[in-house]
Structure 1
Amino acid sequence: MFMNFRRVKKCQFLQLISMCCIMSVLMVCWEQVDHHVVSHVKSYSYRYLINSYNFINKSFSVTREEADSFGSFPFLINHDNICADSDVFLLLFVKSSPENLERREAIRSTWGNQTYVKRELGVTVKVVFVMGIHPDQHKRSALQKDLYAEDEVHGDLVQQEFSDTFHNLTVKLLLQFRWAHAKCSHARFLMSADDDVFIHMPNLVHYLQSLSQQHVQELWVGHVHRGAPPIRRKDSKYYVPVQMYQWASYPDYTAGAGYVVSGDVAAKIYQATLSLNASIHIDDVFMGMCAITVGVSPQEHVYFSGEGKAPYHPCIYEKMITSHGHENDIRYLWRVATAPEVNE
């Protein structure tokens, strides 16, 4: 028995030595090893062992003039009186694109129906669709005429003259927080969502009302990504070169598909946008960079689905708040999710 015990110990010792050798090789060759698992191990090691993002203040700080330049595009459509009400409970930005008229109409007739929210839920919610201009010059002129006509009817569009592309999503984030500061700083909560997101508005309002009664501050809630590594594959739309962001891990951030911040956090994020280099085109990540510079941390909420699409089932939709990836079924979901049997 004694000899067997010694053999086990020797075997474990050899395994430990082997593992140390492998890890040493990986550490030496880390930059040359471009593997999904390795990048995540490296990212998590950075996030949970080093756990310092002081470099953001040092490396991304710019002058006020430089920071302003990232979002200094002229407005083509704007409104001064959307938040004229003194008791705006929630300012809800929907990130849309010029050609997505059908999605906007579906939202206006379902979860984004402000009249319904006021009548049934007793709070004032302002829904604002934010966008740039169509990247295709041949389609731009006709679409722009349609947008002016759409806004003439609904009065809920805010548009700046930047190309509405994936790589300008950070510009759209700047538009939201700077517009909120200028036009709706008294809103108790601010939400940002994609135009293919389904929001269970009764659940969202009830959740935020419970927080408001507790006078909650420092709120930033959604589906949280922790220790996410930069994508270095050039064939990915999320590709970020080392020259743009050289570190192993992003700060924690919430999925941009749908998240909520309290009014005090919205003000802090606005201030952060006035001093940071916004050239990184992943808007979720830039939000995390802004937040960490002002001492705000995201909070995970299981009923914010992030990038996921929640399948319809009464047990799910009785609790859920957001579900992503709904391009054509928002009206159906709204009808079944707000049916009496769901709320019983």
Structure 2
Amino acid sequence: MENKATEQTEINPHPYEYIHNPGAICEDESIFIVVLVKSKVDNFEYREAIRYSWGTSFKHLVFLLGASENTSIQNNVTKESQIYNDIVQENFIDDYCNNTLKTIMGFNWAHTYCHSSRYHLFVDDDVFVVKDNLDFLYRPPTPEQTLFIGRLFQNSVPYRDNGSKWYISWEDYPFDRWPPYIAGGAFVTSSRVTQMLHFAFPFVKYLGIDDAYLGIVSKKLGLRLTTWNGFMMNTPKRTHTKLNYRRIVAYHRIDEPQKMYTVWKNYLEFKKELRTPIPFKP
């Protein structure tokens, strides 16, 4: 009997077009890591805070945005893109329910324009990143390395309360538990995993809960999700106190742009103290 290829129909098309696309930033032949920051379209001050704080630690960093129906906001994004050339924006509406569209856009863009990068770091714009604590990524990877690492959730229950922003109907997801998934606020994928997810998205039913959706796609692909304690620590309210910069990769819920600068200042002081020799005491 003759073997025939099985045709699959796309059930999750992504028919959106770029408004802004800084694809040329990844023209380097060899890139270690690219940072993709999921940002609300009108969070101008958050993006500015990242650019002038922890974002300075990375050579390749972009912001992922949807579009605004407000002409003034959209015009300001255009100016921002012209100044910094770090905005990836498509023409879907930037809304919480479209977070999965934004995540898919990020993976598609990373694969298409930054496939030479060894790793891709996805974070939200209220997250502070300590680059030095990503040193575990420097271990020589295999060519086909399938790394998907962050804060792992297992046996999580979907929200069935239709008053919740995380609401998911039984029709959209008819199961009692989510498959294991990595929290969406901060995670790293190897280039190979980015590629695999990029090609799988069109064939997996869309869900508006982006991290749970990535868990579903990862399960279908047979990907192994890895947890790392350094990801996604909630930042204490008193952000002027020094945090555990020795171990944490990503601090979450920095609720004001100014606090991003405060945490960055404290981090620089911490690094300076590390370089200060211990006084000799006879």
Q: Does TM, scored on the shorter chain, surpass 0.5?
A: yes
Question: 1:80 Cα deviation (Å)?
Answer: 2.8
Q: Is the 8 A contact 2:147 2:193 kept in 1?
A: yes
Match in the other structure for 2:215: 288
Distance 1:244 1:87, change over 3 A: same
Match in the other structure for 1:94: 37
Match in the other structure for 1:103: 46
Match in the other structure for 1:141: 71
Paired amino acid for 1:297: R
Query: Which protein is richer in strand relative to its size?
Result: 2
Question: 1:342 Cα deviation (Å)?
Answer: 5.0
Distance 1:315 1:181, change over 3 A: closer
Paired amino acid for 1:337: Y
Distance 1:264 1:233, change over 3 A: same
Question: 1:274 Cα deviation (Å)?
Answer: 2.6
Paired amino acid for 2:208: H
Paired amino acid for 2:18: F
Question: 1:90 Cα deviation (Å)?
Answer: 0.8
Question: 1:191 Cα deviation (Å)?
Answer: 1.2
Question: 1:212 Cα deviation (Å)?
Answer: 3.5
Structure 2 CA distance for aligned equivalents of residues 287 and 103 of structure 1 = 25
Q: Is the 8 A contact 1:303 1:321 kept in 2?
A: yes
Distance 1:163 1:343, change over 3 A: farther
* TM-score, scaled relative to structure 1: 0.72
Structure 1 segments of 4+ aligned residues over 4 angstroms from their partners: 213-216, 310-315
Identity of aligned residues (%): 27
* Larger displacement relative to structure 2 (327-336 or 193-202): 327-336
Match in the other structure for 1:67: 12
Match in the other structure for 2:102: 172
Structure 2 CA distance for aligned equivalents of residues 213 and 264 of structure 1 = 11
Match in the other structure for 2:279: none
Structure 2 CA distance for aligned equivalents of residues 342 and 327 of structure 1 = 28
Report matched runs for 1:1-344 at 5 Å. 63-64=9-10, 66-68=11-13, 71-113=14-56, 116-117=57-58, 125-134=59-68, 137=69, 140-204=70-134, 206-209=135-138, 211-212=139-140, 217-278=145-206, 280-305=207-232, 308-309=234-235, 314=242, 316-328=244-256, 329-339=259-269, 340-342=272-274
Alpha-carbon displacement from aligned partner over 1:57-108 (angstroms, at most 9, x marks no partner)? xxxx9723x322xx21121111331201111111111001221110001101
Aligned residues: 264
* TM-score, scaled relative to structure 2: 0.87
Structure 1 CA distance for aligned equivalents of residues 143 and 53 of structure 2 = 29
Paired amino acid for 2:94: D
Alpha-carbon displacement from aligned partner over 1:210-262 (angstroms, at most 9, x marks no partner)? x3367782211111110101111111111101000010111111111100011
Structure 2 unmatched ranges of 5 or more: 1-6, 277-282
Q: Is the 8 A contact 2:67 2:94 kept in 1?
A: yes
Distance 1:216 1:75, change over 3 A: closer
Q: Is the 8 A contact 1:103 1:327 kept in 2?
A: no
Distance 1:161 1:213, change over 3 A: closer
Structure 2 CA distance for aligned equivalents of residues 103 and 343 of structure 1 = 30
Paired amino acid for 2:88: V
Q: Give SS of 2:26's match.
A: coil
Structure 1 CA distance for aligned equivalents of residues 254 and 137 of structure 2 = 23
Q: Give SS of 2:132's match.
A: helix
Paired amino acid for 1:241: S
Distance 1:324 1:272, change over 3 A: same
Match in the other structure for 1:16: none
Query: Which protein is richer in helix relative to its size?
Result: 1
Question: Which protein has the larger Cα radius of gyration, Structure 1 or Structure 2?
Answer: 1
Aligned CA-pair RMSD: 2.1
Structure 1 unmatched ranges of 5 or more: 1-60, 118-124
Alpha-carbon displacement from aligned partner over 1:146-172 (angstroms, at most 9, x marks no partner)? 111111110000111111111101101
